[in-house]
Amino acid sequence: MAGIKNLKDLQNTEYGLKKLFEDAEDFLPLLGTDYIELYVGNAKQSAHFYKTAFGFQSHAYAGLETGMKDRVSYVLKQDKIRLVLTTSLEKDGIINEHINKHGDGVKVMALWVEDATKAFEETTKRGAKPFMKPTREEDENGHVIRSGIYTYGETVHIFVERKNYNGTFLPGYRKWESHYNPAPVGLKFIDHMVGNVGWGEMNTWCKFYAEVMGFAQIISFTDDDIATDYTALMSKVMSNGNGRIKFPINEPAEGKKKSQIEEYLDFYNGAGVQHIAVATNDIVATVSAMRDRGVEFLYVPDEYYDDLLDRVGEIDEDVEVLKKHGVLIDRDDEGYLLQLFTKPIVDRPTMFFEVIQRKGAQSFGVGNFKALFEAIEREQSNRGTL
Ligand code: FE2
């Protein structure tokens, strides 16, 4: 369960074949997360929610006023995070089908690259299913090139090359000015995005990230690590070479009752993004602000804090303050991390957010994974879907 200290650690992991990782540096360099696009039932109202509850700022807009005929998109920003909320203006079409099948959910995890044409060629050559051929889009601020491939379920990765573009977001969008601008809550960047996949499919998708995108596995949690008397799941964390992009993949495991991953798959009707983890430099301030604005977090029992310092060692924070806010603490061999998870932010028990603050730790700890698992199981029990 080693963290990423250096490239050598990555090479020592299960999929971290040395050759593969050296290739990865060459064939798909990723500069970071570019944006996350959600297909939602009502983009205007969702945008209001993300501004009010999560402190996102109005950033860009595309719709009828900008010449877009079939959809409306609101782009929100907080520090480096860009969230695109898209809804359909039509009766049918892929956006409506997506919403009907999955509820509001993540369609696109866009990745920022130097060369979107090469990213498309290299990944499709290695077996990726194409979603969008390299496409040049331009306006008076320059041009971008975007391309895309499918990942699990109906979720896609879009590669964004924006080195020749100076506009607000993408061609076709205009700056969105609003008189309603709630303060940010300190969310900085996307730390990781987690996918839930079907029975026995975890290794298939880890292999996809290894072979098609050149990622390496940094952690594996078995069902022995993450199980109660009733339910279980398995998880592996895949990371790209510079560690900026991490995609943990979960699959359900057999237990006496229904795995929470299976509950997700039932309500989402297939594989999809389970949670989006966003980084902060001050988790207590961020979580307090979000709670004040109506965000609900998973409950952490007081007993979690009883032997906390024995488990994680010295920490800078006051345990009583963390306990008051229900913040989870864990460590890897490089440092520690603080995490907290929201309840589902949509009507179905599917997608939620995580707030994370890293203090040295580059990977994840099994203790918090288990605490999250147990907290979701309590909610699942309340829903009668355990
Ligand atoms: Fe997470």
Strands across the sheet containing 130-139: 130-139, 142-150, 156-161, 105-112, 32-39, 81-88, 71-78, 57-62, 174-175
Q: Structurally, what CATH architecture does the domain formed by 7-24+186-383 represent?
A: Roll (3.10)
**Ligand 1 center to 368 CA (angstroms):** 9
Instruction: Tell me which residue of 172, 166, 139, 167 sits closest to 68, measured CA to CA.
Output: 172
Residue 133 token pair: 């051929």
**Ligand 1 center to 277 CA (angstroms):** 6
- The residues with which 219 forms a beta bridge, in sequence order, are 237
Which CATH class name applies to 30-175? alpha beta
Which H or E element spans position 279?
A: strand 272-280
**Ligand 1 center to 247 CA (angstroms):** 9
Reported pTM: 0.92
Helix 366-383 vs helix 260-268: crossing angle, to nearest 10: 60
pLDDT of residue 21: 52
pLDDT of residue 6: 42
- Kindly tell me if the per-residue pLDDT of 7 is higher than 50: no
**Residue intervals in the chain for CATH 3.10.180.10:** 7-24+186-383, 30-175
| Helical residues (DSSP H) of 91-215, grouped into ranges | 94-102, 116-125, 202-211
228-279 per-position pLDDT tens digit: 777 788 999 999 988 899 999 999 988 888 888 999 999 999 999 999 999 9
Tell me the Cα Rg of the chain: 20
> What percent of the chain lies above the pLDDT cut of 70?
93
Is residue 126 within 8 A of residue 209, CB to CB? The reply is no
pLDDT of residue 364: 84
121-179 per-position pLDDT tens digit: 999 999 999 999 999 999 999 999 999 999 999 999 999 999 999 999 999 999 999 99
Is residue 104 within 8 A of residue 38, CB to CB? The reply is yes
Decide: residue 29, CB within 10 A, 0-12 exposed, 13-18 middle, 19+ buried: middle
**Ligand 1 center to 171 CA (angstroms):** 32
Alpha-carbon 329 to chain mean position: 20
Among the residue ranges 14-18, 99-103, 271-275, 380-384, the one predicted with the least confidence is 14-18
**Ligand 1 center to 297 CA (angstroms):** 14
**Ligand 1 center to 200 CA (angstroms):** 21
- Kindly tell me if the per-residue pLDDT of 22 is higher than 80: no
